[in-house]
A and B are shown apart, each in its own frame.
Chain A
Amino acid sequence: KAGVTQTPRYLIKTRGQQVTLSCSPISGHRSVSWYQQTPGQGLQFLFEYFSETQRNKGNFPGRFSGRQFSNSRSEMNVSTLELGDSALYLCASSLGSRESEQFFGPGTRLTVL
């Protein structure tokens, strides 16, 4: 079974630009969550999508948004990039049921210059 895939793996942008990251979950998984990891703040939850609906959201500004498609693939968008948005962005998929574990992708390393 193929794992969670994220594209692109590396990205360099400049301040003020916007970026879209993509995540393809494991086949059959309906839940996709996004996390941001930085050296200073560690791993922080951004949001979760389940069956195309956002069902949980972390404490991030509105510049961070996401969506999920009918095939469960998900995208997250960051607008008006700031230097502090430089981070590893991780996507995790799960069945979405009661105890289901989450499977993480390799992440997208975003550098904002």
Chain B
Amino acid sequence: DAKTTQPPSMDCAEGRAANLPCNHSTISGNEYVYWYRQIHSQGPQYIIHGLKNNETNEMASLIITEDRKSSTLILPHATLRDTAVYYCIVRAPPVAGGGNKLTFGTGTQLKVEL
């Protein structure tokens, strides 16, 4: 699985959009970009994933650059409850005989403040 680089920490004002960047310059053609977050001492929570196109769900939007070497997770209206460590993960899809291994990096600690 490709390696990812994220800033160690970011701050965001409540109600504003939080834009979390991720660099994955060695990503391969069949590798997906996944985002998870972990609120203190809880299990990680799935947010969103994508391959090439931008994706949006009820939690966030994922913008992947055309060359796929970087992506941005956008939380449109951050709240205090969005304070967490956000992990960007790149992984190949499970193929026959393969698996669901996720390789977590150090992530970005997002702090949402009043």
Contacts and interface: CB of A to CB of B under 8 A. Distances in A.
Interface string B71-114: 00000000000000001000001100111111111100000000
A4 B43 CA distance: 10
Contacts of B44: 43, 90, 92, 104
Contacts of B105: 42
B35 to A, nearest CB: 10
B9 to A, nearest CB: 15
Interface of B: 32, 34, 41-46, 49, 87, 93-94, 97-106
10 contacts: A31-B99, A33-B99, A48-B101, A50-B100, A56-B100, A90-B43, A92-B100, A100-B100, A104-B44, A107-B43
A97 interface: yes
Given A98-B94, A99-B32, A99-B93, A106 B99 contact: no
A96 B100 contact: yes
Interface in A79-108: 88, 90, 92, 94, 96-107
Contacts of A103: 46
A90 B104 CA distance: 13
Contacts of A88: 41
A63 interface: no
A48 B100 contact: yes
Given A97-B94, A105-B43, A43 B101 contact: no
B53 to A, nearest CB: 13
A45 interface: yes
B100 A102 contact: yes
A45 B46 contact: no
Contacts of A101: 34, 46, 49
B42 to A, nearest CB: 6
Contacts of A43: 44, 87, 102, 104
B42 A42 contact: no
Given A55-B99, A98-B93, A101-B49, 9 more contacts: A4-B43, A31-B100, A43-B44, A43-B104, A45-B103, A55-B98, A99-B32, A106-B42, A107-B42
